[in-house]
Amino acid sequence: MKRKTITHAGRLLCVLALAMTMTTAAFAADPPEPAQPSPCYPTAVTRSEDGSEIRKMYDLGPEDDPAGIPRSDFEQEGYHYTLTDLLKQELPANESRQHTETVSVPSQSKDMGAVLALLPQTKEFVTEDGLAGTLALKLDTVKVEVAGYGSSTKNITATRTYPGLADQDTQYIPKSITDNGHSLTLQTVNWQTEGDGHFTAVASYSGSATSSYVKGYTVTADYAGTVSRINLNKIRYVAIFEGTALEPAPTEEPGDTTDPGLTDPADPTAPVDPTGPTDTPTGEKNNVLPVVAVVVVVLLGGGAF
């Protein structure tokens, strides 16, 4: 009995070892995919006025792979763009050009002395495509414009004296007056008695006046000069995309919809039932279980040991 038990245990161990070996080989990891190039980002982008063309500039160094330049179609502002050309340009070692930059600053005064204090004589600028330089202020381009108006309302009062009145009767007192172009209404009347028995009325009037004022000013000026940069082994790639205007999506008329249950099975565009049967992939991995089963039957049958 002891020898038979050892033989049966040995059979089980061999079966398990063989099954694990075959399973490991069948489920071995697939070879790694080749590394994707790092994405490249444009240093400048230009678009034609009519939207029919977009150009993206890429300034790449020796360590950059141009395969990382995006080439896929895209949609932007009502156009569908497709890559039509990719140009390669050798950049000069030193690139320079004349450049004008317009600046805008707020000001609380239109006095030219106060305005010039807001504008330094020179400014450092960097263009969108990476050229840098020191630009100088052009005094003949300095302009001051009103940024906006505000309004304010204030109360106005005035006093009028009416002497020699026979009675203390307000019918002799005007109910409204005009003072410096503003209409005022009667508020109160104080009476004073004169020596001859007459009365003097002291009338108080009030009203409001609205005036406008300048809220501030906007100062604009141009700076001009030379901008440049040094290109260390840089190569410029220009990706040219041509755009096609997108047509508006058609509106469906009532009754034009199709019943999903009446689709033609032969139509390749017909929707597929996700609950239906699916194809079972074939290959080495699916053959593992039948092979293991056969080995187990043979070994346990007593012929192997």
Q: What is the pLDDT of residue 23?
A: 54
Query: Which residues, including other chains, have CB under 8 Å from residue 233's CB and lie 6 or more apart?
Result: 61, 62
Backbone angles phi, psi at 162, to 5 degrees: -125, 100
Min mean pLDDT across 216-220, 254-258, 264-268 is at 264-268
State the average pLDDT over residues 10-26.
59
Residue (of 69, 59, 68, 232) closest to 130 by Cα position: 59
Q: What is the pLDDT of residue 15?
A: 57
d(CA 79, CA 54): 11
d(CA 71, CA 25): 40
d(CA 297, CA 295): 5
Min mean pLDDT across 107-116, 216-225, 268-277 is at 268-277
The neighbour count for residue 217, using CB atoms within 10 Å, is 20
Structure tokens that stand for 260 in this block? 């999903």
Do the Cβ atoms of 210 and 153 come closer than 8 Å? yes
Entry pTM: 0.44
Q: What is the pLDDT of residue 284?
A: 47
Calculate what percentage of the chain has a pLDDT beyond 70: 72
Min mean pLDDT across 115-124, 131-140, 275-284 is at 275-284
